[in-house]
Chains A and B, each alone.
Chain A
Amino acid sequence: MIKIDISKKLHGSHGEMQLRVKLNIQDNEFIALSGKSGSGKTTLLRILAGLEDADGAIEVDDEVWLNSKRSLPPQKRRIGFVFQDYALFENMSVLENLLYVVRDRELAERLLEITELRELRNRLPNTLSGGQKQRVSLCRAMMNRPKLLLMDEPLSALDPEMRTKLQREITTLHKEFGTTTIMVSHDASEIYRLASRVVVLDLGSVVGEGIPKDILLKTSGSQKFTFEGELLDIVKVDVIYIAIISIAQQLVEVVVSSEEVRQLEIGQKVSVSTKAFTPVITQ
């Protein structure tokens, strides 16, 4: 159980603002932190990591990380941090990057196995692709078996295919290690796939919180439209089926018949369209 109740004055692009976050996180939860840029997401992660100071308190399983008297240094917090720009140790090979954290060869090999990096274990980071680097970074963050895994837009620099692959790996790692995780993300399909809860920040304050479906779903009116999307899920509700489709950065629900369900496959690209209502003329 992680209890966060912090505040900090920030000098953002919109002038001065107050970051004020009160949040309780259960063990094994996967939280997605969303919101416009400059809303304080990264700062919140950095405060949790101990890289920036703040007022208030952070408690993790009855261990005080921060209160008015003390602030536990990042070295002692046992966290994993995945940076957007990987931040690998350039002078060390893939395996050395992992072993630098903890000399646990067995764990390192297992992580490299899960992320399919075993072949690359002796390569230097600058010979790897972005996706490979981020997988190394993810493995490195898991090496000290963290109490809390923090990820700052880990997949935003990668192409869509690599994103999907890494999302799967993150899910695998989360299931295997059960690490409480907070991930900054803007991508609705990513949040839907990975997170059990979404917290939306705006100008330093929590403006929305709930399960991804409720927060991300935005139903539009009766506009005539056609657009491409990705089928994320099909949910049975009473007698009908609802397809959940990610279109651009939004999720939509579409009612589908049982025949249609049989033809659809999750992960498939689909096009969603609606016809205009027939005009009615009255005298």
Chain B
Amino acid sequence: MIEILQTLDFTPFILSFKLAGLTTIILFMLGMPLAWYLSQTSSKSKPILEAITALPIVLPPSVLGFYILWALSINSPIGAFFEETFGVKLVFNFTGLVIASCFYSLPFMVQPLQSGFESINKNMLEASYISGKSKFTTIIKVALPNIKPAVITAVIVTFAHTVGEFGVVLMVGGSIPGETKVASVAIYEFVEIMDYESAHVYSGIMVLMSFIVLLSVYIFNAKHNQKMGSFR
């Protein structure tokens, strides 16, 4: 066992975490304005936007992967544009994985933030506007600090969900060691070549890490709720 751990190649894990970290940062910046908009608007387009945002939860990863692959490939206008303008290929490399992950994990960032924003007393936000503060200042200084549990949940779940990604990653990235071969893909390959021992070790590490992440979220939220007195 110790021998296996010593010879274990950690590259897929590092890749998984790098991918998840980048995806989380990008999604936080893009998802927060979207979540804010959805929480404040009463426009008719809201249900449409909400449905689109939730699509990745329902769709098989292969469907999502297929469309992203098709959209980013050199044969589509988007892929061709990036190739011609920036000389960047978007599929079967790490960049492609990040883009795909952002689509795949979008609802996990937007939904907790949206319900967090919706739970804020509207008068509190209005009090901030009346105090002369812009929407941006209000979001940063008033809204986000008052929905800390939702922010933590959104960030952690997005991160964890991206680490747990498999189908989309495999379709868009393939399995290039050090580039697109993340932990979940590595486990799949171990099983394929019937290296059950390595599969066990890798899987065990995934279970343990996921459990620790989720546990810390729940402990944080319980503590925060006690502090804010929401159980009174």
Seen from chain A, the residues whose Cβ lies within 8 Å of a Cβ on chain B are: 49, 51, 73-81, 83, 85, 87-91, 100-102, 126, 140, 143-144
B141 within 8 A of A: yes
Q: How far is the CB of A27 from chain B (nearest CB, A)?
A: 20
Chain A's closest residue to B129 (CB) is A74
Contacting pair B146 A90 (CB below 8 A)? yes
Given contacts A81-B127, A91-B142, could you give 6 more A-B pairs where the C-beta distance is less than 8 Å? A75-B130, A76-B132, A79-B130, A83-B127, A87-B124, A87-B126
Q: How far is the CB of A134 from chain B (nearest CB, A)?
A: 13
Chain A's closest residue to B232 (CB) is A126
Q: How far is the CB of A57 from chain B (nearest CB, A)?
A: 20
Cα-based distance from A91 to B128 in the complex (angstroms): 13
B85 within 8 A of A: no
Q: How far is the CB of B156 from chain A (nearest CB, A)?
A: 20
Q: At the interface, is chain A mostly helix, strand, loop or mixed?
A: loop
B6 within 8 A of A: no
Contacting pair B126 A144 (CB below 8 A)? no
Contacting pair B126 A90 (CB below 8 A)? no
B123 within 8 A of A: yes
Contacting pair B129 A90 (CB below 8 A)? no
Residues of B within 8 A of A49 (CB): 126, 130
Cα-based distance from A143 to B127 in the complex (angstroms): 12
Cα-based distance from A242 to B203 in the complex (angstroms): 88
Q: A83-B123, A89-B128, A91-B146 are in contact. Are A126 and B133 (CB under 8 A)?
A: no
Chain B's closest residue to A46 (CB) is B126
Q: A126-B228, A144-B131 are in contact. Are A87 and B142 (CB under 8 A)?
A: no
Contacting pair B229 A126 (CB below 8 A)? yes
Cα-based distance from A91 to B145 in the complex (angstroms): 6
Q: A75-B134, A126-B228, A126-B229 are in contact. Are A89 and B142 (CB under 8 A)?
A: yes
Q: A51-B126, A83-B123 are in contact. Are A101 and B145 (CB under 8 A)?
A: no
Chain B's closest residue to A96 (CB) is B141
B41 within 8 A of A: no
28 contacts between A and B (CB under 8 A): A49-B126, A51-B126, A73-B129, A75-B129, A75-B130, A75-B132, A75-B134, A81-B130, A83-B123, A83-B127, A87-B121, A87-B123, A87-B126, A87-B127, A88-B124, A88-B127, A89-B127, A89-B128, A89-B142, A89-B146, A90-B228, A91-B145, A91-B146, A100-B128, A101-B132, A140-B127, A143-B131, A144-B131
Chain A's closest residue to B228 (CB) is A126
Contacting pair A85 B123 (CB below 8 A)? yes
Residues of A within 8 A of B142 (CB): 89, 91
Cα-based distance from A87 to B120 in the complex (angstroms): 10
B 103-140 to A, binary, CB cutoff 8 A, 1 in contact else 0? 00000000000000000010110111111111000000
Chain B's closest residue to A126 (CB) is B229
Residues of A within 8 A of B146 (CB): 89-91
Contacting pair A101 B131 (CB below 8 A)? yes
Residues of B within 8 A of A102 (CB): 132
Residues of A within 8 A of B124 (CB): 87-90
Contacting pair A100 B141 (CB below 8 A)? yes
The residue from B121, B132, B134 contacting A85, defined by CB atoms under 8 A apart: B121
Residues of B within 8 A of A51 (CB): 126, 129-130
Q: How far is the CB of B43 from chain A (nearest CB, A)?
A: 15
Residues of B within 8 A of A78 (CB): 132
Cα-based distance from A101 to B134 in the complex (angstroms): 12
Cα-based distance from A83 to B141 in the complex (angstroms): 20
Residues of A within 8 A of B128 (CB): 89, 100
Cα-based distance from A51 to B145 in the complex (angstroms): 23
B 175-205 to A, binary, CB cutoff 8 A, 1 in contact else 0? 0000000000000000000000000000000
Contacting pair A74 B126 (CB below 8 A)? yes
Cα-based distance from A144 to B123 in the complex (angstroms): 18
Q: How far is the CB of B228 from chain A (nearest CB, A)?
A: 7
Chain A's closest residue to B229 (CB) is A126
Which one of B131, B132, B145 has the highest number of Cβ atoms from chain A below 10 Å of its Cβ?
Answer: B131
Chain A's closest residue to B230 (CB) is A126
Cα-based distance from A195 to B193 in the complex (angstroms): 85
Chain A's closest residue to B122 (CB) is A87
Contacting pair A144 B132 (CB below 8 A)? yes
Cα-based distance from A171 to B130 in the complex (angstroms): 23
Q: Which of B2-30 contact A (CB under 8 A)?
A: none
Cα-based distance from A90 to B230 in the complex (angstroms): 12
Residues of B within 8 A of A101 (CB): 131-132
Residues of B within 8 A of A79 (CB): 130
Cα-based distance from A51 to B122 in the complex (angstroms): 11
Q: How far is the CB of B183 from chain A (nearest CB, A)?
A: 37
